[in-house]
Amino acid sequence: MSDSPFDPPIPSELTVKLSTLTQEQQAFLAGYLWAESQRRVNADTSLKGVSPNAARKRQITVISASASGNAAGVAKKLVGKLEAESLEVNLISAGSYKARQLPKEDIVIVATSTQGDGEPPEEGVPLHSYLFSKKAPKLDALSFAVVALGDSSYPQFCQCGIDFDTKLGELGGKRLLDRVDADVDYQAVTDAWIEKTVAKLKEVAGGNSIALAVQAEEAVNTSAFNKENPFTATLLDSLPLVTDDTSRIVNHVEIDLDGSGLRYQVGDSLGVLTSNAAEVVDEVLELNGLSGDENIEGRQGSISIRQALTFQTDLNQLTPKFISDYASTANSTDLSTLLGNKEKLTNYQAWTPVVGLMRDYPQELDAQRLFNGLKPLTPRLYSIASSQEEVGDEVHLCVARVDIEHDKKKHSGSASGLLCSRLEEGDEIEVFVEPNPRFRLPQNNDTPIIMIGPGTGIAPFRAFMQQRRAENAQGKNWLFFGNRYFRGDFLYQADWIEYRDQGLLHEFSLAWSRDGEEKIYVQDKIRENALQFWEWLQKGAHIYVCGDASRMAKDVEKAILDVIKKQGKKDEDDAVEYLNELREANRYQRDVY
């Protein structure tokens, strides 16, 4: 059979098998093989002109690491576009993602924010730690892209996104697109990035597959009100929590949500839309020779500069970009010198409001240039200090007024000043609920909890206690609280005494930094109670930390690691791994800012 298409010729065992078939079976088999050969020919023909990559079914995983919901919103929008293109995609929050899964991924897209001093948002910490650990894997088979959200008024702008993008590349990943960094006014930048990313993924991932179901975010409320459509609530009260001699203002704020349908869980935050005080707006207008009636092109169309300065611009936080632009026409040698000294510039920026710069280096800007240079005024988030099981359609906050003194004048934060000083009982305020699914009480009410919240970080733990009381939870509760003075700074002192007397608060460790010769902080109390702290961990306790991210949260984490090392007899690497395991198991949760 010299004309046989087989080379070598048909094996003898196949010939023997064929000889055992009936004539009818042989005919059927011949027809089947002919039809199969034609199917393959047709399939090959249909793929002509299409790149092999486009036809290949590839899995896309979109990971969002979000602090206030913005990065999560960008990720969700991207996934919606990818699903519309029938790409195979899965959306997951970094807090629910198992970091060791990364080497098995095909394509990973990361949308992340940055918080604190260039750190990852809380839910992104385990993934970030894994990538920067000694156990970081080779990622030669991975393709990736990163979009970073940040705030350019902070020195470490988009640092977490830079970290993810750099490290994924260093570990061998193939970068599909250059990283994009987006500022506070991020939507136009991220929308353009989404379109570019979708086009690239259509090219490399194929469009012939069925999209996977997207992991749903935690449903918190069914109200029509949200960040884009806030509820107009009423201020019920704003009462001081500290004595006059503490030289600062911290208030307990109560807001009426009646008629909103808004529901929140303990651990969530309340978003507050804010505005600038009229006297500050007047001074900015005066320093720039403006009447306030000049029309400009604002973020939602034509608007007067007075309205824009009141509701659309941040008059507290200076950005390096605004200072640089301002200096370009200020004709000031001192300001130019300041720009050349990074450390002094950072310090000046941190302690100088917009009006302070204009007083220090006077010049007049036209209305549009003034508006264009200023940072957008964004909602402020406050940890909720109440449980709806106890307060119904109210929401309570613990707010410290942020004051900056510049040129012998005191300037208050726009939101904290609004809530603590400018609003009166019965005034309206626009609010929305910002869910925080990574800061939740244990599902098992018998689980012990350790709450670490100095200063206004105590807010969510008041809510925790209200919730545990309402549910008659049997798990033990331990509070670590610190402030400056016992007499004037013990926030919600009456509440905590009541919880203790009711048997709800089983342990409390208090730290006062100004009451004695030696400054005592909550991290000192953690080390002081190391053995008991470790015993609680061995009994399954959950740890919660709330408050300042830049120093307190780092110092507290170091103290916890010290406890783990000493009591658990672990080295540094094993202690870090142990703490990350607690974090992944939702036994170590932080709400830091």
Show the tokens assigned to 168.
């994924």
Q: Are 356 and 406 in contact (CB under 8 A)?
A: yes
Angle between helices 70-84 and 187-205 (to 10 degrees): 40
Is 523 part of any domain? yes
The alpha carbon torsion through 317, 320, 326, 331 (nearest 10 deg) reads 130
Residues 269 and 397 in one domain: yes
551 inside domain? yes
In this structure, are 183 and 269 located in the same domain? no
Tell which of 327, 351, 373 closes a domain. Answer: 373
Q: What pLDDT does residue 232 have?
A: 98
Residues 261 and 356 in one domain: no
Residue 155 has what pLDDT? 81
User: Does residue 223 lie within any of the structural domains?
Assistant: no
Distance separating alpha carbons of residues 129 and 64, to the nearest angstrom: 16
Q: What is the pLDDT of residues 87-135, one digit of tens each?
A: 999 999 998 898 889 999 999 999 999 987 789 998 999 899 999 988 8
> Residue 61 is part of which domain span?
53-205
Clarify whether residues 170 and 269 are in a common domain: no
Please report the pLDDT score of residue 5 as a whole number. 53
382-418 core/surface letters (b: 16 or more CB in 10 A; e: else):
bbbbbbbeebeebbbbbbbbbeeebeeeebbbbbbbb
Q: Is residue 221 part of a domain?
A: no
Give the residue among 591, 550, 577 at the shortest CA–CA distance from 451: 591
Query: Which pLDDT does position 350 carry in this prediction?
Result: 87
Query: For residue 19, what pLDDT is reported?
Result: 60
Same structural domain, 482 and 532: yes
Give me the half-sphere count of Cα atoms (radius 13 Å) on the Cβ side of residue 439.
30
> pTM value?
0.82
The tally of CA atoms less than 13 A away on the side-chain side of residue 235 is 21
Q: What is the pLDDT of residues 249-307, one digit of tens each?
A: 999 999 999 999 999 999 999 999 999 999 999 999 999 999 999 999 998 899 999 99
Instruction: Let me know if residue 506 belongs to a domain.
Output: yes
Residues 259 and 403 in one domain: yes
Q: Are residues 170 and 300 in the same domain?
A: no
Packing angle, helices 459-470 and 493-501, rounded to 10: 30
Q: Which of 358, 373, 388 is the last residue of a domain?
A: 373
Domain identity same for 244 and 97: no
Check whether residue 460 and residue 572 sit in a common domain.
Answer: yes
The answer to whether residue 215 is domain-embedded is no
Q: What does the pLDDT read at residue 549?
A: 87
CATH of the domain at 393: 2.40.30.10
Query: Domain check: are 315 and 421 in the same one?
Result: no
Total domain count, the chain: 5
CATH number at residue 282: 1.20.990.10
Which residues have C-beta within 8 Å of that of residue 246, sequence separation ≥ 6?
484, 485, 488, 489
Distance between CA atoms of 457 and 492, rounded to whole angstroms? Answer: 12
CB atoms within 10 A of CB 57: 13
What SS3 class is residue 79?
helix
- Whether 476 is covered by a domain: the verdict is yes
| CATH code (residue 518) | 3.40.50.80
Q: What pLDDT does 8 receive?
A: 52
pLDDT, averaged per 10 consecutive residues of the chain (593 residues), comes to 51 58 56 50 44 63 92 95 93 91 96 90 91 92 96 88 97 97 93 96 72 42 80 97 91 97 97 96 98 94 97 92 94 93 90 95 97 94 97 97 89 95 97 94 97 98 98 98 94 97 97 92 98 98 94 96 98 93 94 91
Q: Is residue 397 located within the same domain as residue 325?
A: no
**Does some domain include residue 444?**
no
pLDDT at 425 (0 to 100): 96
- Residue ending a domain, choose from 434, 469, 504: 434
Looking at the fold, whether 475 and 556 belong to one and the same domain comes out as: yes
